[in-house]
């Protein structure tokens, strides 16, 4: 058997393929990756067709003048196209021919284009022509076709169709089949799967060979069913348009459309949002409804205040259905305003007081707002005319009736309009009716047993649709709403305290807020526990896969729920309760629809796609919005008739999201189809920002993307071009955007380009901008100071760093900070503020802003601790590193960046660095002090101990003391420490017997000392006299501590221990007295020394570039030991 291919090329034919290939969409995948596969390899199975389909296909082919293989391939390609969602497919083709009784395989391709106006006969004819033309394309070298199409990510020739005419279909044909496929696999790389079509004059047979790493048998059994279903359909109705054919069988259609969406249940569809609240007023009038700070209000008092406002509005001429603006702060007035507007028959339209004035005015005009309910703080800050305001305070001060108005309000009436980002540069107002919101609230409270014993911490904006459940869900259940203020929301430590202080049972936020809370708890209070929180809702953005388990560490009784949906479908339409996280998940499942809501995953023809196939997400049911306020065109595009459940809501919403149904019938969210992203939980249309920038007159062109930095935070990045040499500053552009857009829509990162990349079609190539271009922003733009403390600190930083391009969000370490710089800055800070600060404070507060906030809220000196959190986050066992002769731990910052992201790193700095505590001259006492702090942080262990330089001896003593307490020490790690403590001996006494043998090494040590001298001189040289004085004072303190430590080390005797030692030795040695390969440690570690040589010298091994190797080797060893593949006791 042989495979033939020639290297001759014909330009005309290559152009034909190149033109055809341009129709392939780069974002599509040929076939989805299905869970359940096994190890890499290939498998062959037969796909049964049956006598009936054999006979019908032969008759159909003859009657239309087509070959059987063309008809079969056409049907095969339709099924593939439904899986891939592409307008064109390019398959590999292998023709098996006999040449002197020897099978030969000739390679080619089959090109198919799909047009919605094509019939099946058209496609089969096109396929027939492609096969016929194959003879003319045989001499096109396959590598050249790949060269042409490689930029399209098509999966070229990853799916093959083997045509085997005059095949032997008798006994043993599978063996022949296997020989042909084996020959093909030997010559083609990374095949996904292929079909082997074998025919003779009587019948055809089909087998499939597939990559077991990507697919399982069940996938192809289902694929075969769909293929045979489609063949039967096309043979019966060959004249139908391609889009009219359904590849799914009735059973599968029923499962996707009905079983999955079996959500219809009775709900209080006649009720309004406020009616259930009024019921609670009757049940429990004296219960607390809202808490804000030290202030509280009961259900009865809240109801009376809302009633007064309602009567005021009615007297002012408000009629049912009117839109009423709500411009208030985060206070009782916010809730009173909502309830009062609804009770008067109006629909509330929240307007954030912090929005730019132009945006406030746009919302006012777009929603045809009749009046604005405001508190007295905001009318003067608005462009809205004064006569359009009703002050909420007037309702309470004047003698209005406080009884329920009792208006008969239809549940199909509007309840609220919330504005979301729009693609044209203007936001869209989503109109939601009462019954839709009532259904949502009813489902949550019933599903998760929310009642009068619950309390929710309100941390979102009233302009964010999460507020709808937060407010009305709690008031409907009879629970308590605790309103957090802006400064409290921004301080997650305060939020964690509020949870306990107010006995919060319900948390609802975007994932980033909860993630920030968890990361802060891990860093600040790792042993925090609060069992009172029973429900955690997260929605609005991707949830980090490891976050649910972390949540349960701090909130052990919490049920973690992932929710999704859209503002256009009343907050949430689907949910997934995260009991445990599957380590194979790429994302948290999107789950299933909530009560009376439906989800459909459809193709471009609005047909359900197969399980495992990516399609467009549509939402149906009673949650679907009425539409967009005063925007008929957008409403007609996004809201269409629901053909699947016309009697339950009647409409469905086109989300613009992509998803797929998984085999367990939970949805998986794939991402946005268009240009929308989520920033801080808010949906942002990038086009709105771009449109605003491009219409500013300040630049030539702009593109905005959302990128994720190395901390997992999504930020907006603006790429701007200005060909007019205006050199417009970033701050000018930001200020312009802030006139019309909220802060979360103003890009954090600005990149100036000479030109934007273009596609071959002349369009802006967003994919080229989206690739990794060294983007590592963590608020890298220059942000100016806002407070006096920030201004003072920023001036100090600029003075010492000798840089002007520093902002309040610049990180001390990322702009070149080191231990000497830290000493100088903190010494200056002590003189300015009168407060002592330890160097390690810069790990906790590395930016000007964070440090300024700490200084402003601190009333006394910072409580000194030896334990410093260098990299506190991560799920692995913490690594504790003891300081070297420098006494502080700043030199470990680079190492912390080069270990695994889940590896926590803590440092131990010397007692006495604060200038208050007396240093210690006993090594066991020093070790005991450090051990106490380690055990306080991590009471049970196990422990990973490391010591750098002289810290190696302290690490050994800590190990000894921990073992004596019955604790497990997994690893003892030494960074470039010799066992004889030569630094602390009278080394002249050692010189005579070593000088001759080790003279070259002593020269190296002398060179090292000289280099260190010049390094220190270079650091001090540019310093003004005052800065040198600050540094000198600090080093006097350091020398005092070091003199005590020298005494401690000289009096300490190392003892052999029953364990293994991990030694990381610098390649360039500065040990002027050589103690052998293992620096003498083999005498002490009874189970041996594992030696790892690291490039660099004693100091540079911890600095780039050498530290990258140290981090990798160290992490591998830690993982081996903690995984049980090695032991250290």
Q: What are phi and psi of 113, to 5 degrees?
A: -115, 140
Q: Give the residue-averaged pLDDT of 425-444.
A: 94
Q: How confident is the model at residue 1128 (pLDDT cuts 50, 70, 90)?
A: very low
Domain 685-770, what fold? GMP Synthetase; Chain A, domain 3 (3.30.300)
At 1044, which helix (H) or strand (E)? helix 1025-1050
Residue 1025, pLDDT > 90, answer no
- Our CA dihedral for 755, 758, 764, 769, rounded to 10 degrees, sits at -70
Q: Which residue has the tokens 């033109």?
A: 19
Is 601 in contact with 661 (CB distance < 8 Å)?
yes
Residue 156's Cβ-count burial label (10 Å; 0-12, 13-18, 19+) is buried
Residue 834, pLDDT > 70, answer yes
pLDDT confidence of residue 1125: 36
Angle at 274 between CA 273 and CA 276, to 5 degrees: 85
- 474 or 671: which carries more pLDDT confidence? 474
788-801 helix and 819-833 helix, angle to the nearest 10 degrees: 140
pLDDT confidence of residue 758: 59
Q: Give the residue-averaged pLDDT of 668-672.
A: 83
Domain ranges of the chain: 2-247, 596-672, 685-770, 782-853, 864-1129
pLDDT confidence of residue 35: 46
pLDDT confidence of residue 355: 84
Task: Report the alpha-carbon distance of residue 735 to residue 267 in Å, rounded.
Answer: 48
At 199, which helix (H) or strand (E)? strand 193-199
Cα-based distances in Å from 781 to 378, 751, 1074: 31, 10, 50
Cα-based distances in Å from 177 to 166, 798, 1046: 13, 74, 80
pLDDT confidence of residue 723: 59
Looking from the CA of 122 toward its CB, the CA atoms found within 13 Å total: 12
Give the number of residues written for the chain. 1129
Query: Among the listed ranges 27-31, 667-671, 688-692, 764-768, which one has the minimum average pLDDT value?
Result: 27-31
Residue 371, pLDDT > 90, answer yes
pLDDT confidence of residue 712: 58
Q: How confident is the model at residue 548 (pLDDT cuts 50, 70, 90)?
A: very high
Is 573 in contact with 442 (CB distance < 8 Å)?
no
At 508, which helix (H) or strand (E)? strand 506-509
How many other β-carbons are positioned within 10 Å of the β-carbon of residue 1006?
A: 12
CA 665 to chain centre: 24
Beta bridge partners of 389: 372
Closest C-alpha to 368, from 434, 298, 321: 321
pLDDT confidence of residue 930: 92
Q: How confident is the model at residue 563 (pLDDT cuts 50, 70, 90)?
A: very high
The dotted CATH code for 2-247 is 3.30.559.30
Q: What is the DSSP string of 54-96?
A: HHHHHHHHHHTT--HHHHHHHHHHHHHHHHH--SEEEEEEEEE
Strand order in the sheet with 592-593: 295-298, 288-292, 480-483, 455-458, 506-509, 535-538, 559-564, 574-577, 592-593
Q: Which residue has the tokens 């002593």?
A: 1002
- 230 or 1036: which carries more pLDDT confidence? 230
In Å, the largest CA–CA distance within the chain is: 107
Q: How confident is the model at residue 482 (pLDDT cuts 50, 70, 90)?
A: very high
Q: Rg of the Cα trace of the chain? A: 35
Give the pLDDT confidence of 745-790 residue by residue, as tens digits: 888 888 877 777 754 444 566 766 765 343 333 334 567 888 888 8
Query: Among the listed ranges 27-41, 167-181, 329-343, which one has the minimum average pLDDT value?
Result: 27-41
Give the pLDDT confidence of 501-512 residue by residue, as tens digits: 999 999 999 888
Q: What are phi and psi of 913, to 5 degrees?
A: -65, -20
Cα-based distances in Å from 204 to 57, 65, 207: 10, 18, 10
Give the pLDDT confidence of 819-831 residue by residue, as tens digits: 667 777 877 887 7
pLDDT confidence of residue 349: 97
Domain 864-1129 -> CATH class? alpha beta
Question: Would 2-247 and 685-770 be classified into the same CATH topology?
Answer: no
Helix-then-strand count for the chain, H and E: 33, 40
CA 560 to chain centre: 17
Residue 592, pLDDT > 80, answer yes
- Burial track 1093-1111 (b if 16+ CB lie within 10 A, e otherwise): ebebbbbbbbeeebbebbb
Q: What percent of the chain has pLDDT over 70?
A: 78
Give the pLDDT confidence of 965-1004 residue by residue, as tens digits: 889 999 999 999 888 754 454 434 444 444 444 444 444 4
pLDDT confidence of residue 777: 38
Q: How confident is the model at residue 89 (pLDDT cuts 50, 70, 90)?
A: confident
Contacts of 1014 (CB under 8 A, 6+ apart): none
Q: How confident is the model at residue 36 (pLDDT cuts 50, 70, 90)?
A: very low
The secondary structure of the chain in percent helix, strand, coil, rounded to multiples of 5, reads 40, 20, 40
CA 151 to chain centre: 27
Closest C-alpha to 808, from 795, 799, 823, 818: 795
Query: Among the listed ranges 27-36, 222-231, 446-455, which one has the minimum average pLDDT value?
Result: 27-36
Residue 13, pLDDT > 60, answer no
Whether residue 1105 has a cis bond before it, omega within 30° of 0: yes
Is 723 in contact with 706 (CB distance < 8 Å)?
no
pLDDT confidence of residue 658: 87
Residue 98, pLDDT > 70, answer no
Residue 335, pLDDT > 90, answer yes
Contacts of 459 (CB under 8 A, 6+ apart): 484, 489, 495, 509, 513
Residue 586, pLDDT > 80, answer no
Q: Quote the mean pLDDT of the chain.
A: 80
Task: Report the alpha-carbon distance of residue 391 to residue 495 in Å, rounded.
Answer: 31
Beta strands in 569-721 (DSSP E): 574-577, 592-593, 597-602, 615-621, 627-628, 639-641, 651-661, 667-672, 676-679, 682-685, 701-708, 714-721
Q: Hey, what long-range contacts does 668-674 have (CB within 8 A, 24 or more apart)? A: 668/587, 668/589, 668/590, 669/564, 669/587, 669/590, 669/617, 670/614, 673/616, 674/423
Task: Report the alpha-carbon distance of residue 680 to residue 678 in Å, rounded.
Answer: 7
Is 165 in contact with 172 (CB distance < 8 Å)?
no
Task: Report the alpha-carbon distance of residue 1062 to residue 948 in Å, rounded.
Answer: 12
Closest C-alpha to 363, from 376, 380, 382: 382
CA 583 to chain centre: 16
Residue 187, pLDDT > 70, answer no
State in Å, rounded, how far the first CA of the chain is from the last one.
61
DSSP 8-state symbol, 586: S
Task: Report the alpha-carbon distance of residue 913 to residue 826 in Å, rounded.
Answer: 12
1025-1050 helix and 819-833 helix, angle to the nearest 10 degrees: 110
Give the pLDDT confidence of 599-624 residue by residue, as tens digits: 999 988 899 998 888 889 999 999 99
Q: Give the residue-averaged pLDDT of 619-647.
A: 95
Q: Give the residue-averaged pLDDT of 55-82.
A: 88
Q: Give the residue-averaged pLDDT of 92-114.
A: 69
Q: How confident is the model at residue 199 (pLDDT cuts 50, 70, 90)?
A: confident
Task: Report the alpha-carbon distance of residue 605 to residue 615 in Å, rounded.
Answer: 11
Q: How confident is the model at residue 99 (pLDDT cuts 50, 70, 90)?
A: low
**CATH 2.30.38.10 given to domain 596-672:** yes
Domain 782-853 -> CATH class? mainly alpha
At 467, which helix (H) or strand (E)? helix 466-477
Cα torsion angle, 582, 587, 588, 592, sign: negative
pLDDT confidence of residue 1057: 92
- 904 or 714: which carries more pLDDT confidence? 904
Q: Give the residue-averaged pLDDT of 523-549.
A: 90
> How do 676-679 and 682-685 pair as beta strands?
antiparallel
Task: Report the alpha-carbon distance of residue 1080 to residue 380 in Å, rounded.
Answer: 78
- 46 or 32: which carries more pLDDT confidence? 46
At 882, which helix (H) or strand (E)? strand 879-882
pLDDT confidence of residue 173: 46
Task: Report the alpha-carbon distance of residue 127 to residue 301 in Å, rounded.
Answer: 75
Cα-based distances in Å from 1059 to 948, 1053, 1089, 1122: 19, 18, 9, 15
Residue 816, pLDDT > 90, answer no
Task: Report the alpha-carbon distance of residue 788 to residue 808 in Å, rounded.
Answer: 12
Beta bridge partners of 327: 374
Q: Give the residue-averaged pLDDT of 865-869.
A: 85
Residue 41's Cβ-count burial label (10 Å; 0-12, 13-18, 19+) is exposed
């Amino acid at each position: 058997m042989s495979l033939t291919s020639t290297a001759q090329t014909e330009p005309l034919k290559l152009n034909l393929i190149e033109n055809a290939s341009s129709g392939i969409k780069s974002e599509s995948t040929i076939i989805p990756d299905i869970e359940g596969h096994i190890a890499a390899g290939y498998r062959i199975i037969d796909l049964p067709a049956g006598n009936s389909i054999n006979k019908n296909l032969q008759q159909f082919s003859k009657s239309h003048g087509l070959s059987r293989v063309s008809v079969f391939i056409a049907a095969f390609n339709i099924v593939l196209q439904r899986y891939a969602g592409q307008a064109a497919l390019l398959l590999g083709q292998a023709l098996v021919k006999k040449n002197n009784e020897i099978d030969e395989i000739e390679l080619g391709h089959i090109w198919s284009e799909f047009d919605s106006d094509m019939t099946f006969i058209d496609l089969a004819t096109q396929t027939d022509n492609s096969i016929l033309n194959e003879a003319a394309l045989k001499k096109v070298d396959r590598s050249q076709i790949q060269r042409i199409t490689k930029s399209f990510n098509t999966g070229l020739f990853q799916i093959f169709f083997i045509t085997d005419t005059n095949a032997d279909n008798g006994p043993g044909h599978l063996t022949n089949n296997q020989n042909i496929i084996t020959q093909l696999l030997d010559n083609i790389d990374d095949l996904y799967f292929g079909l082997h079509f074998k025919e003779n004059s009587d019948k055809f047979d089909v087998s499939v060979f597939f990559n077991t790493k990507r697919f399982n048998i069940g996938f192809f059994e289902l694929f075969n069913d769909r293929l045979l279903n489609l063949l039967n359909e096309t043979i019966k109705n060959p004249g139908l348009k391609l889009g009219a054919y359904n590849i799914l069988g009735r059973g599968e259609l029923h499962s996707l459309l009905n079983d999955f969406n079996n959500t219809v249940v009775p709900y209080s569809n006649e009720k309004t949002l406020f009616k259930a609240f009024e019921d609670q007023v009757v049940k429990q009038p004296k219960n607390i409804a809202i808490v804000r700070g030290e202030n509280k209000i009961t259900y009865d008092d809240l109801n009376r205040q809302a009633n007064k406002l309602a009567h005021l509005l009615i007297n002012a001429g408000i009629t049912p259905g009117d839109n009423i603006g709500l411009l208030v702060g985060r206070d009782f007035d916010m809730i009173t305003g909502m309830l009062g507007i609804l009770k008067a028959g109006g629909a509330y339209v929240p307007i954030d007081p912090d929005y730019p004035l132009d945006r406030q005015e746009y919302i006012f005009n777009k929603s045809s707002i009749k009046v604005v309910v405001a508190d007295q703080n905001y009318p003067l800050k608005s462009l809205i005319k004064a006569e359009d305001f009703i002050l909420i305070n007037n309702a309470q001060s004047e003698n209005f009736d406080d009884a329920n108005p009792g208006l008969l309000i239809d549940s199909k009436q509007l309840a609220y309009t919330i504005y979301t980002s729009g693609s044209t540069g203007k936001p869209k107002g989503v109109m939601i009716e009462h019954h839709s919101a009532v259904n949502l609230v009813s489902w949550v409270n019933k599903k998760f047993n929310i009642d009068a014993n619950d309390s929710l911490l309100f941390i979102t904006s009233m302009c964010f649709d999460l507020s709808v459940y937060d407010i009305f869900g709690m008031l409907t259940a009879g629970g308590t709403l605790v309103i957090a203020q802006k400064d409290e929301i921004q301080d997650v430590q305060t939020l964690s305290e509020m949870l306990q202080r107010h006995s919060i049972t319900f948390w609802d936020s975007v994932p980033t807020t909860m993630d920030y809370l968890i990361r802060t708890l891990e860093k600040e209070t790792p042993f925090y526990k609060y069992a009172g929180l029973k429900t955690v809702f997260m929605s609005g953005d991707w949830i980090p896969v490891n976050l649910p388990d972390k949540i349960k560490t701090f909130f052990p009784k919490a049920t973690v729920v992932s929710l999704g949906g859209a503002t256009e479908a009343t907050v949430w339409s689907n949910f997934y309760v995260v009991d445990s996280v599957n380590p194979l998940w790429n994302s948290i499942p999107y789950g299933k629809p909530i009560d009376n809501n439906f989800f459909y995953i459809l193709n471009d023809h609005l047909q359900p796609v197969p399980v495992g196939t990516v399609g467009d997400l549509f939402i149906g049911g009673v949650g679907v919005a009425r539409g967009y306020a005063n925007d008929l065109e957008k409403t007609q595009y996004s809201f269409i008739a629901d053909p699947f459940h016309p009697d339950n809501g009647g409409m469905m919403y086109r989300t613009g999201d992509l998803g797929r149904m998984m085999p367990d019938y939970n949805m998986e969210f794939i991402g946005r189809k268009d240009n929308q992203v989520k920033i801080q939980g808010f949906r942002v249309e990038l086009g709105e920002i771009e449109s605003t920038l491009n219409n500013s007159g300040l630049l030539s062109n702009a593109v905005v993307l959302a990128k994720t930095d190395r901390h997992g935070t999504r930020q907006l990045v603006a790429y701007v071009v200005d060909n007019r040499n205006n050199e417009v500053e970033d701050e000018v552009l930001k200020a312009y955007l802030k006139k019309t857009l909220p802060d979360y829509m103003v890009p954090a990162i600005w990149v100036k380009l000479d030109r934007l990349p273009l596609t071959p079609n002349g369009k802006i190539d967003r994919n080229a901008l989206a690739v990794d271009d060294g983007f590592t922003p963590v608020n890298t733009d220059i942000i100016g100071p806002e407070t006096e403390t920030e201004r003072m600190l920023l001036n100090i930083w600029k003075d010492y760093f000798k840089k002007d391009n520093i902002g309040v969000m610049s990180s001390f370490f990322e702009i070149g900070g080191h231990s000497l710089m830290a000493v100088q800055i903190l010494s200056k800070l002590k003189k300015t503020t009168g407060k002592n600060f330890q160097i390690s404070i810069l790990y906790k507060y590395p930016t000007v802003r964070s440090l300024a906030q700490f200084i402003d809220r601190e009333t006394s000196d910072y409580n000194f601790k030896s334990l410093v959190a260098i990299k506190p986050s991560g799920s692995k066992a913490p690594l504790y590193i003891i300081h070297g002769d420098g006494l502080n731990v700043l030199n470990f910052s680079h190492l912390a960046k080069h270990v695994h992201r889940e590896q926590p790193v803590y440092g131990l700095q010397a007692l006495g660095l604060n200038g208050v505590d007396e240093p210690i001259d006993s090594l066991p006492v020093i070790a005991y002090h450090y051990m106490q702090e380690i055990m306080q942080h991590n009471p049970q262990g196990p422990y990973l101990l490391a010591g750098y330089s002289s810290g190696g001896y302290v690490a050994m003593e800590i190990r000894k003391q921990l073992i004596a307490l019955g604790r497990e020490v997994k690893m003892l790690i030494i960074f470039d420490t010799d066992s004889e403590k030569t630094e602390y001996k009278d080394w002249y006494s050692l010189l005579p017997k070593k000088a001759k043998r080790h003279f070259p090494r002593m020269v190296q040590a002398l060179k090292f000392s000289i280099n260190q001298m010049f390094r220190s001189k270079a650091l001090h040289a540019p310093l003004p006299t005052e800065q040198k004085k600050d540094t000198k004072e600090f080093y006097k303190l350091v020398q005092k501590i070091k003199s005590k430590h020298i005494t401690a080390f000289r009096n300490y005797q190392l003892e052999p221990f029953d364990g293994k030692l991990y030694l990381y030795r610098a390649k360039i040695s500065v040990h002027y007295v050589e103690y052998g390969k293992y620096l003498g440690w083999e005498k002490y570690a009874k189970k041996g020394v594992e030696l790892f040589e690291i490039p660099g010298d004693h100091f540079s091994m911890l600095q780039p570039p050498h530290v990258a190797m140290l981090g990798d080797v160290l992490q591998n060893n830690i993982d081996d030991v903690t995984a049980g593949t090695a032991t250290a006791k």
